[in-house]
């Protein structure tokens, strides 16, 4: 267990770093914001239209966001729908608090 004066454990630090890296791009922030506000699954085409960036770029960003579980993918036949992972995204403010030295809560489990 970490105390105030000890750094985060390596596994925790790596997990939080992957979250920060995933959000270190303006387009990915736009996608997360869009999906969080939409509150229902969206196709790549709908996201492309809303964000105004090409399909291949959006697909690339969605892959990164899904790898850290901020975005969940629902396959429907040959297409995919994307939605925000409410459980995982709700952990993110906790990550920022922990990195900034606030009390360490139980490690979030983002499925």
**pLDDT digits 0-9 by tens, 41-98:** 999 999 999 999 999 999 999 999 999 999 999 998 888 999 999 887 677 767 777 7
**Domain that residue 87 falls in:** 10-97
* Token pair for 100: 């900034």
User: Does the reported pTM lie above 0.85?
Assistant: no
Q: Residue 23, CB half-sphere, CA atoms under 13 Å: how many? A: 16
Residue 52 located in a structural domain = yes
66 is a domain residue? yes
Structural domain contains residue 69? yes
Contact 50, 34 (CB under 8 A): yes
Q: Is residue 42 part of a domain?
A: yes
Q: What is the pLDDT of residue 109?
A: 58
Instruction: Locate 1 and state its tokens.
Output: 């267990």
- The answer to the question of residue 57 being in a domain is yes
Overall domain count for the chain:
1
Residue at 105 is within a domain: no
Residue 25 lies in a domain: yes
The pLDDT assigned to 29 comes to 93
Closest CA to 99 of 8, 1, 28: 8
76 occurs within a structural domain: yes
């Amino acid at each position: 267990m970490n105390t105030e004066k000890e750094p985060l454990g390596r596994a925790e630090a790596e997990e939080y770093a992957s979250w920060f890296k995933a959000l270190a791009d303006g387009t990915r922030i736009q996608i997360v914001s869009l999906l969080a506000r939409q509150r229902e699954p969206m196709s790549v085409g709908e996201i492309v239209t809303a964000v105004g960036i090409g399909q291949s770029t959006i697909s690339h960003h969605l892959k990164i966001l899904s790898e850290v579980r901020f975005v969940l993918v629902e396959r429907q036949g040959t297409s995919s729908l994307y939605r925000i992972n409410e459980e995982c995204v709700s952990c993110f403010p906790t990550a920022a608090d922990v990195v900034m030295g606030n009390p360490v809560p139980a490690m979030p489990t983002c499925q």
